[in-house]
Amino acid sequence: MTPTRLLFTAAALLGLTISPVQAQNVDATSPDALILIIQELGYKALADTDQQGDPLIRSSANGGDFTIYFYGCNEGKDCKAIQYSKGYDMADGMALERVNEWNKEHRFGKVYLDAEMDPYIEMDVNMDLGGVNRKNFEDTFDWWLVITREFEEFIDWK
């Protein structure tokens, strides 16, 4: 008996099923698939392109907009990774010491300052070589929402 057949036989004996939806992976080569998942989760997701012609997704949550950029693309297609990004226009900017404090204490969601000392928070996701399963993508999206909410509390964003 082949290993695959053995796995499905064992799953059947245990009363388990492996649905095609659970087994289907998503990756950065299909922005439309990611948009659909984000919309199914109840969030806005609109297709757009960046200055290089690569896809991007404009979305919002927690009362603010953010962007999902696509990287490692070949002429706007076959992208390999995504990056969640959100900027905050602060009247007095943010001190570098606070940026360093955030980056030191938080594993996900790295922060940097732009020329006006306004913070941007970003989170990269590698989706190359087969992508990730849908549940993993949904969990990563949820992590992004948690991270931005925590960062907004950290900077006392209103």
pLDDT value, residue 23: 58
CATH of the domain at 65: 3.30.1460.10
pLDDT value, residue 24: 83
Domain range for residue 62?
Answer: 25-154
Give pLDDT < 70 ranges for the chain.
1-23
Alpha-carbon distance of 67 to 86, in angstroms, equals 6
In a domain, 16, yes or no: no
In a domain, 38, yes or no: yes
Identify the CA nearest to 132 among candidates 14, 26, 3, 6.
26
Residue that the structure tokens 């940026």 belong to: 99
Helix 96-105, helix 134-154: angle, nearest 10? 140
How many domains are contained in the chain? 1
pLDDT value, residue 158: 82
In a domain, 12, yes or no: no
pLDDT value, residue 62: 85
In a domain, 10, yes or no: no
Provide the Cα torsion 8, 9, 12, 17; round to 10°: 0
SS3 content of the chain, % helix, strand, coil (to 5): 35, 30, 35
Residue that the structure tokens 């036989």 belong to: 9
pLDDT value, residue 56: 97
Contacts of 109 (CB under 8 A, 6+ apart): 102, 121, 122, 123, 144, 147, 148, 150, 151
pTM, two decimal places: 0.84
- Identify whether the C-beta of residue 47 lies closer than 8 Å to the C-beta of residue 36: no
In a domain, 82, yes or no: yes
Dig out the tokens for 100 from the structure: 């360093």
In a domain, 149, yes or no: yes
pLDDT value, residue 112: 98
pLDDT value, residue 9: 44
In a domain, 96, yes or no: yes
pLDDT value, residue 84: 98
In a domain, 101, yes or no: yes
